[in-house]
Amino acid sequence: MNLQTIPLDQIHYDARNPRTDGAEDLEELAASMQGGSLIVQPPILTQTKQGYCVLVGERRVRAAKASGAEEIACLVREEEINALDA
């Protein structure tokens, strides 16, 4: 894995992720991330034909989008996961 800055518009989510959070939770996380009061581990992505898919850290990516950020630092797995490309 290597650390890369990825444009948020190139990141999509795995529809099989069972976790769902409300907008209020994301706003709280986004505020914490912006204020620097929270140390956040970079999300983990894999590259797909459509861009990048979130493997770990979907809430962090959604919070970054909600905060108006255009890009986010992520760890990107080198190998592509074919099941996500279907």
| Interval 56-66: pLDDT, tens | 999 899 988 88
Exposure string of 25-44, with b = 16+ CB inside 10 Å and e = fewer, is ebeebbeebeeeeeeeebbe
Domain boundaries, the chain: 2-85
Q: What is the model's pLDDT at position 86?
A: 43
* CATH C-level class of 2-85: alpha beta
What is the pTM (predicted TM-score) of this model?
Answer: 0.75
Q: Is the pLDDT of residue 29 over 70?
A: yes
Q: Is the pLDDT of residue 19 over 80?
A: no
Report how far residue 27's alpha carbon sits from residue 10's, in angstroms, rounded to the nearest whole number. Answer: 21
Report how far residue 71's alpha carbon sits from residue 61's, in angstroms, rounded to the nearest whole number. Answer: 9
Q: What is the model's pLDDT at position 21?
A: 62
Mean pLDDT of 55-79: 90
